[in-house]
């Protein structure tokens, strides 16, 4: 398969009305026995698209397909995800908060012997049990240290994509620790797809998606997870999309915009293929970004505060919508509080595969809120409690411990929660500036600060409170004015914390280096009869890394040796 080195989509844009021939139809189809046929489920995850980076939010980035799909479906305007990649994806797959999977801290890096815990059933596993065909195309980023961690072992019957968090969009070279460990990362099933290198990721993934749709039997329910790496760094886009933004002087913004426009056109093709394949009229399509935009890499969350990696609104409030003939209301804007962990129970509900006895999810089935405008069953969101990330204490500036009704809360711990209209943040929150889209090229020093508002007086703070309903831009910190609300939310954090599991955050394993495994990233534990699995194995690896410094030396020698053999393939 070759998708061409450019974003070579064949069909320009969609017809005047995507829902045109089906407007007014709200009932689902029936199977031969007269029961409602479960809908096909298409989930599109986009990487690092900022809240302000979609046409219908007023962006200069042209996204006509997204605007049309959202405009004819239900736009989610009180929709939240997590601040970075792996956490959002883990909650999408399990419906569980990070405090319940041990993935509270940061992303899963390629060298870490860590993956989505195997004792949590995944959304595709449950859908497969309910009779769905399950396919994944694109970025996984939920760990791959063992074969049992791979998408094909976590519920997907097919997979084409990348296992790490980011790589070159053409060569699929991906690195961890700077240039310390680099390798090829594009896999078809469980094998490296060397022959597909050179194809632009968005074009490649759209083409595979179309092939899946084309060959799918419409009578069997389908779950398709299309997880694009656009518009994550490295900022790369096909030339003709770049040309369309030649007036944007800032090179990061220009490339980022071109990546999103390419993605937009590709999704138009996916929807067109859904129609051609006879699937469209019984499909629920969900579109979501995985976290806020990174302003230093071309993204914009303006007018929201902060960006990717923070729990300010710019980091977690996301672009999202649902498009489907099956929606009972169309062309609506939903203000229902919805979180990425809600998709698991919501999609299971649509599939008629409810949570088995004894199963507990942190997500809620929000289909009624989306489709009918019913009140959302969700009233609060625990964004995270990360005990590993503590605000560094400056001399004489230790973060205070606050007493609430359930005990004490160390405000140095990085945590965030929303309850009703209130949002509480503790610990080190990262960059909390308001950054307008940066279109112009400026001298480096000026570019960083142009149009930016900074709250210098809050650098030493470790607790903030906002009323998000009346102050969505988080400009008025009410932590001192409303101490009773602070206490209530701290107590709620304390309750959640009582249910938290230990964070899994193992050190890097030098044996993961792709240069020890033929030049490609892939599983390196439990292979060839090594035995062991799960936490025991990870603990062994931690011990091994801590006590066997020779390993690093051995790895280095093997790396140098094997690099000589692999250079011809990688460069």
Residue 85 vs 274, nearer CB to Ca ion: 85
3-class SS of residue 464: strand
| The two structure tokens encoding residue 474 | 């988080």
Nearest distance from residue 291's CB to Ca ion, in Å?
Answer: 5
Q: How far apart are CB 53 and Ca ion at their closest, in Å? A: 13
Residue 538 lies near Ca ion (rule: CB under 5 A):
no
Interaction between residue 53 and Ca ion (CB under 5 A): no
Shortest CB 299 distance to Ca ion, Å: 10
- Does position 362 interact with Ca ion (CB under 5 A)? The reply is no
Residue with the CB atom nearest Ca ion in the bound state? 85
Residue 47: CB minimum distance to Ca ion, A: 4
**Nearer Cβ to Ca ion (48/509):** 48
Of 72 and 185, nearer to Ca ion (C-beta) is 185
**In the complex, least distance from residue 38 CB atom to Ca ion, rounded to whole angstroms:** 30
Phi-psi region of 394 (alpha: psi -120 to 50; beta: other; left: phi over 0): beta
Q: How far apart are CA 528 and CA 22, in angstroms?
A: 53
Q: How far is the CB of 290 from Ca ion (least distance, A)?
A: 4
Among 269, 273, 290, 538, interactor with Ca ion by CB under 5 A:
290
Whether 85 is catalytic: yes
Mind giving me the DSSP string for 114-140? --S-TTS--HHHHHHHTT-EEEEEEE-
| Interface with Ca ion: number of residues (CB under 5 A) | 5
Residue 291 is a binding residue for Ca ion (CB under 5 A): yes
Sign of CA dihedral 361, 367, 368, 374: positive
Per CB under 5 A, the segment of 26-34, 288-296, 335-343, 461-469 that binds Ca ion is 288-296
Query: Three-state SS for 72?
Result: helix
Residues 108-147 that bind Ca ion (CB under 5 A): none
Considering the complex, what minimum distance in angstroms separates the CB of residue 255 from Ca ion? 16
47 versus 509: smaller Cβ distance to Ca ion: 47
Using the rule CB under 5 A, which residue among 46, 47, 321, 370 binds Ca ion?
Answer: 47
CA distance 142 to 151: 9
CA distance 38 to 282: 8
Binding letters toward Ca ion, positions 62-101, x by CB under 5 A:
-----------------------x----------------
* 3-state DSSP of 364-408: CCCHHHHHHCCCCCCCEEEEEEEEEEECCCCCCCCCCEEEECCEE
Indicate the angle between helix axes 549-570 and 534-547, nearest 10 degrees.
100
Which of these is catalytic: 7, 40, 57, 85? Answer: 85
x/- mask, Ca ion, residues 220-249, rule CB under 5 A, reads ------------------------------
Task: Output Rg (C-alpha) for the chain, integer angstroms.
Answer: 23
Strand pairing class (133-139; 158-162) = parallel
Q: Give yes or no for a contact between 225 and 137, defined as CB atoms under 8 angstroms apart.
A: yes
Q: Is 281 a catalytic residue?
A: no
Rounded Cα distance, 333 and 330, in Å: 9
The Cα 245–Cα 241 span in angstroms is: 7
- Which three-class secondary structure state does DSSP give residue 562? helix
Q: Between residues 48 and 342, which has the closer beta carbon with respect to Ca ion?
A: 48
Of 83 and 370, the one with the shorter C-beta distance to Ca ion is 83
Asked if 264 interacts with Ca ion (CB under 5 A), we say no
The active-site residue out of 135, 141, 232, 323 is 141
433: contact with Ca ion by CB under 5 A: no
Residue closer to Ca ion by CB (options 48, 185) is: 48
Q: Which is nearer to Ca ion, 267 or 511 (CB)?
A: 267
Cβ at position 288, least distance to Ca ion in Å: 11
Dist. CA 336–CA 44, nearest whole Å: 20
49 is an interface residue for Ca ion by CB under 5 A:
no
List the one residue from 38, 43, 45, 48 that touches Ca ion (CB under 5 A): 48
| Triad 62, 66, 70: Cα angle to 5° | 135
Task: Report CA 100 to chain centroid distance, whole Å.
Answer: 18
User: Of the ranges 41-49, 109-117, 210-218, 258-266, which one interacts with Ca ion (CB under 5 A)?
Assistant: 41-49
Cα–chain-centroid distance for residue 477?
28
- The set of catalytic residues is 85, 141
Binding site for Ca ion (CB under 5 A): 47-48, 85, 290-291
């Amino acid at each position: 398969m070759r998708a061409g080195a450019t974003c070579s989509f064949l069909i320009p844009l969609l017809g005047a009305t995507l829902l045109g021939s089906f407007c007014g139809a709200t009932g689902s189809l029936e199977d031969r026995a007269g029961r409602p046929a479960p809908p096909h489920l298409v989930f599109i995850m986009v990487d690092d698209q900022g809240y302000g980076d979609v046409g219908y939010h007023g962006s200069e980035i042209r996204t006509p397909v997204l605007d049309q799909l959202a405009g004819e479906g239900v736009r989610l305007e009180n929709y939240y995800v997590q601040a970075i990649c792996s956490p959002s994806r883990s909650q999408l797959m399990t419906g569980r908060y990070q405090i319940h999977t041990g993935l509270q801290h940061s992303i899963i890096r390629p060298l870490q012997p860590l993956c989505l815990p195997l004792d949590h059933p995944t959304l595709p596993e449950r859908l497969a049990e309910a009779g769905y065909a399950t396919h994944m195309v694109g970025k996984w980023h939920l760990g791959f240290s063992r074969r049992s961690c791979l998408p094909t072992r976590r519920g997907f019957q097919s997979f084409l994509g990348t296992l790490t968090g980011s790589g070159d969009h053409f060569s699929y070279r991906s690195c961890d620790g700077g240039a310390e460990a680099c390798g090829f990362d594009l896999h078809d099933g469980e094998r490296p797809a060397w022959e597909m290198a050179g194809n632009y990721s968005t074009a490649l993934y759209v083409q595979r998606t179309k092939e899946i749709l084309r060959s799918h039997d419409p009578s069997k329910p389908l779950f398709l997870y299309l997880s694009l790496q656009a518009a994550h760094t490295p900022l790369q886009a096909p030339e003709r999309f770049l040309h369309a933004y030649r007036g944007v002087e800032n090179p990061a913004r220009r490339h980022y915009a071109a990546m999103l426009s390419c993605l937009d056109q590709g999704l138009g093709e996916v929807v067109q293929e859904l129609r051609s394949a006879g699937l469209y009229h019984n499909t629920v399509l969900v579109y979501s970004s995985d976290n806020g935009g990174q302003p230093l890499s071309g993204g914009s969350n303006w007018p929201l505060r902060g960006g990717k990696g923070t729990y300010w609104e710019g980091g977690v409030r996301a672009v999202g919508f649902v498009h489907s003939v099956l929606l009972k209301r169309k062309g609506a804007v939903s203000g229902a509080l919805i979180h990425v962990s809600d998709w698991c129970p919501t999609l299971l509900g649509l599939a008629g595969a409810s949570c088995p006895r004894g199963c507990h999810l942190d997500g809620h089935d929000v289909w009624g809120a989306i489709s009918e405008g019913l009140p959302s069953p969700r009233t609060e969101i625990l964004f995270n409690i990360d005990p590993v990330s503590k605000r560094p204490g400056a001399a004489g500036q230790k973060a205070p411990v606050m007493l609430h009704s359930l005990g004490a809360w160390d405000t140095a711990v990085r945590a965030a929660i929303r309850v009703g209209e209130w949002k509480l943040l503790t610990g080190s929150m990262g960059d909390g500036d308001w950054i307008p889209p940066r279109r112009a090229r400026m001298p480096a020093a000026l570019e960083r600060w142009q149009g930016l508002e900074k709250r210098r007086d809050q650098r030493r703070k470790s607790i903030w409170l906002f009323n998000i309903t009346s102050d969505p831009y988080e400009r008025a910190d009410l932590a001192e004015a409303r101490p009773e609300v602070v206490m209530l939310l701290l107590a709620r954090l304390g309750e959640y914390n009582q249910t938290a599991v230990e964070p899994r955050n193992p050190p890097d394993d030098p044996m993961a280096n792709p240069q020890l495994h033929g030049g490609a990233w892939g599983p390196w534990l439990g292979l060839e009869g090594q035995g062991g699995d799960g936490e025991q194995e990870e603990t062994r690896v931690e011990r091994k890394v801590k006590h066997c410094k020779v390993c690093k030396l051995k790895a280095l020698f093997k790396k140098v040796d094997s690099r000589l053999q692999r250079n011809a393939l990688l460069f």
